[in-house]
Every structure is written in C-alpha cells, then in structure tokens.
Chain A
Amino acid sequence: MQPVATTFFFYFLSGLTLVSGVFVITRKNPVHSALALIFGLLAQAGLYLMLYAPFVAGVQIILYAGGIMVLFLFVIMLVNLERSRREEQFNNQWVIGLLAAVALGVLFVIVYVKGKALFPYRIAQPIENSNTQQIGVMLYGQYMFAFEIASLLLLVAIIGAVVMAKKRI
C-alpha cells in the first residue's frame, strides 16, 4: 500500500496529537479531556500506519481507543466529579512542571542536533506484508521471557481485581 501525500499527513497527524495532548491537560471537564485523549491516540495510530506498522496501529485502536478509553469514561461517569471540577486545575507544582518541560525540550533539541548523524535520513523499507508475522516471531521467539513475564503480571492484576470485586457480589 503506497502512502499518499506523506508530508501532509505526517504534519497533520503530529499536529493533531500535540493539540489533543494540550487539550487533555487543559480541559476542565474530564470527559472533554478523555475525548481529546482519544483523538490523540487515533492520530498516533495514523502515524504508526505511516511507519508501515499496521499491526501496532490496529492494536493501538482496539486496545487504547476502544478498550481502555471506554473504561476511563466509565469511571469518569461513575465518580462524582462535581467537587473536583470546582477545584483549581493547576496546583502548586506548576513551577516544577515548567522546569521538567523545559528540560525535556532541551533534551529533544540536543538529540535532534547531535543525533542527525546517528539516525541517517533514509526511507524505511516497507516490510508491511510480513509485519504482523515478524511481530509474532519476535514476541514468541526472542522476547519470549519478557512477554511471559508481562502476561503473568497481567494475570496477577486480573486475579486481584476479581478478589476485590468479589466482596460486592
């Protein structure tokens, strides 16, 4: 599948990601924040597609946008937000936050300047057709141990959730 108007879509999707990111932290209404977050995640999925990583893009949509964000919204709706909405959004840590942001920005600039040599400009080879297969091979081959550890952790989380919820049943 040949991408069309690559540059336009790159800047469009990146811009969308950034703008939604800003909206996520500035909106007073948590549902609006969640909505912005969803748009951000979808834009990211688009970026993955442009990187010839359709499987990651699909998983991004199905897990983050379709699964986790639904649970976010679920919790937001169930918890009473009347009080938290009236509170100050930006608390006293904004100085630290600003410092962290500046530090991160400087880091990015340094990486961009110095890293030009490390990451030479070239067009990625489209390995799209075997992409999914390669991910599978990687996960169940090279990174088998890490994969299983992660799944074990998730299993613990599931059992913990069941135990906690069981009290109510």
Chain B
Amino acid sequence: MGAGEPGNRERPIIMTDRTTFDLKPIDPKPADEKYLSHLELGEPDKTFLDSNELVINMGPQHPATHGVLRVILKLDGEKVLGTECVIGYLHRGVEKIAENRTYTMFNPYVDRMDYVAAVSNGLGYCEAVEKLLNIEAPPRAKYIRVILTELNRMASHQLWLGTHALDIGAMTPLFYTFRDREEILKIFEKYCGARLTTHAFRIGGCQYETYEGFERDVIKFLDFVPPKIDEYEELLTTNRIWLERTKNVGVISRADAIALGVTGPVLRASGVKWDLRKAQPYAAYSDFDFEIPIGTNGDTYDRYTVRMEEMRQSLRIIRQAVEKIPEGPIMAKVPKVMKPPVGEIYHSIEAPKGELGYFIVSDGSTQPYRVRVRPPSFVNLQALDIMVRGALVADVIAVIGTLDIVLGEVDR
C-alpha cells in the first residue's frame, strides 16, 4: 500500500510494545453443540482482484472510540475481517489501591471507574460492604439510593444516546441530551455538591439528608423529561437513515450473548428478560412496579429501543419512590472502625451498562484483602469482535457506540 506502510515501522507510532498485528479471533463457539453460534464466518474468497488486506489502527486517539480504546481492524476494502481490542490505556490499578485503603477510604475510588454512572458504582460497593458487615441501610436511605441511582441511569443513557447518535452522524441529539442531563446533574450537585463523581452514598446508608425541595426538584424533572425523550425519538426512531444504519447491524444472538456473558441492555435486546433489579432485588427495588423492556433481534436498533424504554421505566421507578419515600433515619448503626469478619462476598447490581459486581474478600482487618470489580463494559466489549465480523467500518463505530462502554471501567 503506497510507500511505507504505517504499520511496519521500526518503532510503532503509538506507544505500545506491540509491533505485529496478529489477529487471533475470539471463537464465539463453545465446544458443545448446544451452544453453537449462528455465525459461520467463511474465509474471504480469494479472487482475481485480490487487493491487499488493510490493517488500520482505530484509536487510541480516535473521535469515536469513546476514550482510549484501540481497535486494530483488519479490512478488505471496507469489510471487516477481524478486530482486536487493545485496552489498558486507562489502567489505574483500582483493585490494587483497594487493598491498601480502608473500606471507607476506597468508597470514592469506585466513582472513578464508570464516571458516567458514578452513583451506581457507589451503590454496588456500599451494598457489598454492608452485606459483608451484615448490616442493612434504613428504608429512607434505600429510597434515596433508588432515586439517585435511577436518575443516574437516565443520565448515563442520555449520554450514551447523544454520543451514539453522533457516531452515526446525527449531531443534534447530543446537544439535546446534554441539555436534559444537565438537570439531573443539577439535582446531584444540590444533593451532594458534586456533579459527576458524586460519592453520594456511604457504607450503611447516606451521608446527607435530602435537601429542602429535593422531592419538588425531582418531580419537576419527571414532568420535564418525557417530552424530551419523545423529542429524541422523533429525531431518530423513524428516521430512515437511522433505521438503515442500526437495523441488522451488530447482531448478537441470544445464545451468543449468554455465552459471551454480556449483560444489561445488550443482553435484553437479544431477548433475555433478565434484570438484576427484578431477578435479585437490592436496595428497595422490590417495592416498585416496573417493566423490563426486551428486544427480539439483538441488533443495534433493538438496543436503542431497549435503552429508550429503560429511560421511561426509570422515570416510573423514580416517581413511585418519590411518592412513597418513608421518613426516618438515613444511616444505620455502623462501627467507627469497620472490621468485617473473615469471609468473601459477591454482590452485584444492575448498573446502566450491565451487571456490576463486587467480589470482596475480608481478612478481618480494616482493609479489604481483595476487591474484584466485575465491570460490565469490560465483558460487553469482548462481544465487539463477533458483532462486527463481516460488517463494514461504519458498523464498527455503530457497534462500539451501542455497546455503551466507558473506558474508565474497562481498564479500571
């Protein structure tokens, strides 16, 4: 290809030690017949017009990789023959840090993983430690947690929608979603003083009582946002180009989705009606009435509709929670120095991106012996390869967007 192929330099331009592009595919097919994938990818046929295979490096600095994801694409013209994700550019060793901090001190760190949905991260961690300590947050705290977490789910989905639409070329939804996300961030700011990395919850409950007018603000938001969601849908849902760009793009079957362990909206769009808020209710979710939207085809469009519906369901949950929020304390009796008994716990919640799990090993001291975070983005990103094989470059972008990854969480 031309003079001097960028991939074949003595030292790669991009800071990494990898100089070869040896693409080993992730085999989506387990050995067992029952789990055989529908995806049969034959060898690309060699014809007389055998043009060169093109290896391009998408990222780590690329406008559509949502951070510092680097995807090595092997292309035949525009067709994707294979991908390899190179991650770790944002690795900060969160799990190692946890082993050197007390339980309380580690709490703010989890916000920095999925910085788009910091409240969910905090909820998962606090609940896991509470379980390990065998205490339970008081009901009012649980309701506040539900309200803030669901608001955060809204914010996360709005950000996803904006950036996903921008990737596919529609600029305008980004600004609309950011305008409305702002209202959520204002509520966060009023509640705990921070907008993004909120550190809203503490082990055992909440640090802060709701501010004066909290319910009013939330109700105002609930009335404000449904027409806005309709507005996003008006721009996209029935737009021909949007339909063509998303329907039958990045299809992942039910069996593949389960085998690859993807969770959250990606799994639900493939037709698995599974949501941890229903399956294993935590916080106060068992008190509320809501639906789990599912898709049928497992394509990008289904993931889009599932997330749009999830936003509406979140609003439903918030409304119910605000209406029946109980009075009472917001903090359980928590020892000043937390020394959980020796043991292990795995607790997971339904974060906006999927199952966010914390596996904590305690050795009886004030510091966790081992904290393992089960990041939904990390596992979901693994599905990228089988979702884009045989598709076009533009589909890779659409699929990265639809997986809704946050690199802070992938790399931790």
Contact of B47 among A79, A80, A168 (CB under 8 A): A168
Nearest B-chain residue to A77, judged by Cβ: B2
**Contact residues on B (Cβ < 8 Å of other chain), bracket:** under 10
Q: How far is the CB of A61 from chain B (nearest CB, A)?
A: 28
A78 CB within 8 Å of chain B = yes
List the B residue with the shortest CB-CB distance to A164: B48
Q: 10 closest pairs, A vs B, by CB? A: A78-B51, A168-B47, A167-B47, A80-B52, A80-B1, A168-B49, A168-B45, A77-B2, A82-B3, A167-B45
Q: Find residues 145-168 in chain A having any chain B CB closer than 8 Å to their own CB.
A: 164-165, 167-168
A64 to chain B, nearest CB (A): 24
B79 to chain A: closest CB distance in Å? 10
Minimum distance in angstroms from B268 CB to a CB of chain A: 34
Q: Show 15 residue pairs from A and B whose CB-CB distance is below 8 angstroms, ordered by the A residue.
A: A77-B2, A78-B51, A78-B52, A79-B51, A80-B1, A80-B52, A81-B2, A82-B3, A164-B48, A165-B49, A167-B45, A167-B47, A168-B45, A168-B47, A168-B49
Given A78-B52, A82-B3, A165-B49: 12 more A-B contacts, CB < 8 Å? A77-B2, A78-B51, A79-B51, A80-B1, A80-B52, A81-B2, A164-B48, A167-B45, A167-B47, A168-B45, A168-B47, A168-B49
| Bound: A167/B45 CA distance, A | 9
Measured as residues with beta carbon below 8 angstroms from the partner, the interface class of chain A is: 10 to 19
List of A residues within 8 angstroms of B3 by Cβ: 82
A79 to B48, CA, bound (A): 12
Bitwise interface map of B from 41 to 57 toward A, beta carbon under 8 Å scored 1, else 0: 00001011101100000
Contacts of A165 in B (CB 8 A): 49
Indicate with 1 or 0, residue by residue over A76-110, a CB within 8 angstroms of chain B CB atoms.
Answer: 01111110000000000000000000000000000
**B45 CB → nearest A CB, Å:** 7
How many Å from the CB of A82 to the closest CB on chain B? Answer: 7
Residues of chain A within 8 A (CB-CB) of B52 are: 78, 80
Within 8 A of A (CB), among B19-65: 45, 47-49, 51-52
- Provide the bound-state CA to CA distance between A168 and B46, in Å: 9
Residues of chain A at the chain B interface (Cβ within 8 Å): 77-82, 164-165, 167-168
A-B contact count (CB 8 A): 15
B2 to A, closest residue via Cβ: A77
Shortest CB-to-CB span from A169 to chain B, Å, is 10
Bound-complex Cα distance A81 to B48 (A)? 17
- B365-409, CB under 8 A of A: which get 1 and which 0? 000000000000000000000000000000000000000000000
A164 to B52, CA, bound (A): 19
Chain B positions 209 through 237: 1 when the CB is less than 8 Å from some CB of chain A, otherwise 0:
00000000000000000000000000000
* Chain B residues within an 8 Å CB radius of A164: 48
Q: Which residues of B contact A80 (CB under 8 A)?
A: 1, 52
Q: How far is the CA of A17 from the CA of B14 in the complex (A)?
A: 45
> How many Å from the CB of B2 to the closest CB on chain A?
7
By a CB distance below 8 angstroms, the chain B residues around A78 are 51-52
Which residue from chain A places its CB closest to the CB of B48 in the assembled complex? A164
For A168, the chain B residues whose CB sits under 8 A away are 45, 47, 49
Chain B's closest residue to A81 (CB) is B2
How many angstroms between the C-alpha atoms of A60 and B319 in the bound complex?
A: 70
The minimal Cβ–Cβ distance linking B304 to chain A, given in whole angstroms, is 29
Closest to B45 in A: A168
Bound-complex Cα distance A5 to B48 (A): 52
Closest CB of chain A to B366's CB: distance in Å?
64
